[in-house]
Amino acid sequence: MSAQESPPFRRRYLGRLLRELREDVRMSTGEVCGRLEISAPRLSRIENGRTAPDIVIVKAMLDLYGLPVNDWEPYEQLAREARKKAWWQEFGVEARGYVALEAAAARLHHFELGNIPGLLQTEAHARTLFGKLSKRRSKHWVEDQTAVRLIRQQRLRSEENPLELVAIVDETVLWRPVGGREVHRAQLWHLLEVAELPTVTLQVLPLSASPHVGMDGSFHVLSFAEKDEPDLAWVDHVFGSLQIEKKTEVRACKLAFEALRTEALTPADSVALIREVLARL
């Protein structure tokens, strides 16, 4: 399985499509459960993308909702993809979560207040972070997490299924000496390199910027290539993470990101600042 496939996202996408078909024919969940002889919790898990339905169940739903047989193939293919094992599960990362969403996304807007964005980190930088921030974890866990991060980065250079990244980082992250002087300098040189990729737009929010909306913390906004698939927002915090789907809240995140872009340095000026920091190390 390639690094770009996301079975958990396929489950979510398929579930939404099946729910929309049910709603189009104005059938209640109770009616569907009665006709298909499945439980209400099971139907709920299918429609919310928490479980991958069998092909037989998918066909039964499509037939019940009156969809012509000639139009079934896309749904059947989604069902097959949804039942696959995600590549990151081999590294001990949960099937659902941020990695699953990012793997399915076409565009990512990421504001980072306290660290270099994971997609732009060097291997040494990432390994240092995982090692220091997760001292109760095993060395094997650190290596697995680092490997997943490096695989995720491949999409920035992929021609078949690239990920477009717009990243804004607070200037403080450029000065933070993660891993010591050599690792720090190598990370900054890496930023200069990836900033030249056609898929990457990197901007720095300078210390001279006035108080801004990003001071409340880092966040992501993910957009997808699938037709009518809504944008999502994701927020990491010290106790876990939060996936945001409500349209008004996602829109607020998007507006906040655009506000930060206007206050951040241009990509060219951001590169110049990174070079200035390097010269002073």
- The CATH class of 7-84 is mainly alpha
10 — pLDDT class (breaks 50, 70, 90)? confident
pLDDT at 228: 77
Angle at 261 (CA atoms; ends 206, 189), nearest 5 degrees: 55
What are the tokens at 192? 């200069």
For 152-206, give the DSSP string: HHGGGG-SSS--EEEEEEETHHHH--TT-HHHHHHHHHHHHHHTTSTTEEEEEE-
Pick the CATH number of 88-279 from 3.10.20, 3.30.870, 3.10.580, 3.30.420: 3.30.870
104-111 mean pLDDT: 95
Any idea which of 47-56, 62-71, 266-275 has the lowest mean pLDDT?
A: 47-56
| Residue 2 pLDDT greater than 60, yes or no | no
Break the chain into its structural domains and give their ranges: 7-84, 88-279
259 — pLDDT class (breaks 50, 70, 90)? very high
At 206-222, the pLDDT tens digits run 998 878 888 889 999 99
In the block, residue with structure tokens 């019940």: 64
| Residue 64 pLDDT greater than 50, yes or no | yes
What are the tokens at 165? 């990244």
Contact between 151 and 234 under an 8 Å Cβ cutoff? The reply is no
What amino acid is encoded at 68 in this protein?
P
What rounded mean pLDDT belongs to the chain?
A: 91
Q: Which helix (H) or strand (E) holds 220?
A: strand 219-224
At 136-179, the pLDDT tens digits run 778 889 999 999 999 999 999 999 889 999 999 999 999 999 99
| Residue 135 pLDDT greater than 70, yes or no | no
pLDDT at 1: 38
- The CA distance from 189 to 278, in Å, is 8
